[in-house]
């Protein structure tokens, strides 16, 4: 039987929670990590593991509530085959507030993590010409590097100057090391839209899934329903999160 269900999660806005928010942040502080293979923004193959230190709040009725910016723990990375002791800290992980996805933001000008629970730290990001955004959850692991040549990214974004966005999005379709990735170089120009300058693919799948995966990933439907929507989302990330405090007053 063909693997006709491979891309249902991606095409349906990656609805299957193969790599969902809190479920992916596994292990106790100082405990053993569950490593997941992924492609980094520089196209290198890495493994990522999460250590939980959750700050979600308990509501009446015993339900858990996550707010945007809640600290969830930290992420560590290592090369495949390396021991856990060789891992390095990637960054502090924060809740997106939707109960599914978690985020890391790094100011590449300073090399520091941005505390998404601290408005003052987000405001400092407004002066950066280069920063990196990670999103985990809903069956994906995505990293985006935003950069601008002349002005800080947020000033350029609201001023209608082109923003460079280099993204690598890993879509998981099976085991922790079974994925394909899109590699996109795009230009985002404020509310005017975007242009995909380069598009590539990486397939890390068994031979039984490879042929159909390549066929579907390179189809016009996947480009329209997933890839183009992903680049639009990258613009919304600037508007609603990273550059929110640079938004011109009406």
pLDDT, residue 192, reads 82
Q: Quote the pLDDT of residue 233.
A: 95
The tens place of each residue's pLDDT in the chain, 250 residues long, gives 333 333 333 433 333 323 333 334 333 334 457 899 999 999 999 999 998 876 555 555 555 667 888 899 999 999 999 999 999 999 999 999 887 899 999 999 999 999 999 999 999 999 999 999 999 998 999 999 999 998 999 999 999 999 999 999 999 987 778 999 999 999 999 878 899 999 999 999 999 999 999 999 999 999 999 999 999 999 999 999 999 988 887 6
Q: Find the farthest-apart pair of alpha carbons in the chain and give their distance in angstroms, rounded.
A: 57
């Amino acid at each position: 039987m063909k693997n006709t269900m491979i891309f249902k999660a991606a095409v349906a806005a990656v609805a299957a929670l193969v790599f969902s928010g809190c479920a992916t942040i596994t292990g106790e502080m100082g405990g053993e990590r569950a490593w997941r293979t992924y492609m980094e923004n520089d196209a290198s193959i890495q493994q990522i593991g999460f250590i939980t230190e959750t700050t979600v709040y308990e509501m009446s009725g015993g339900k858990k509530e996550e707010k945007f910016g809640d600290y969830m723990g930290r992420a560590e990375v290592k090369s495949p085959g390396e021991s856990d002791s060789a891992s390095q800290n990637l960054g502090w992980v924060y809740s997106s507030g939707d109960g599914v996805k978690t985020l890391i933001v790094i100011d590449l000008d300073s090399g520091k993590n941005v505390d998404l629970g601290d408005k003052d730290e987000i405001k400092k990001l407004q002066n950066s010409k280069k920063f990196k955004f990670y999103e985990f959850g809903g069956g994906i692991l995505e990293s985006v590097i935003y950069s601008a040549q002349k002005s800080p990214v947020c000033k350029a974004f609201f001023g209608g100057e082109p923003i460079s966005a280099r993204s690598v999005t890993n879509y998981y379709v099976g085991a922790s090391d079974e994925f394909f990735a899109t590699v996109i170089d795009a230009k985002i120009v404020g509310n005017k839209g975007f242009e995909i300058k380069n598009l590539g693919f990486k397939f890390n799948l068994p031979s039984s899934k490879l042929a159909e995966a390549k066929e579907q990933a390179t189809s016009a439907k996947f480009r329209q329903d997933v890839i183009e929507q992903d680049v639009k989302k990258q613009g919304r990330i600037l508007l609603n999160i990273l550059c929110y405090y640079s938004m011109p007053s009406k």
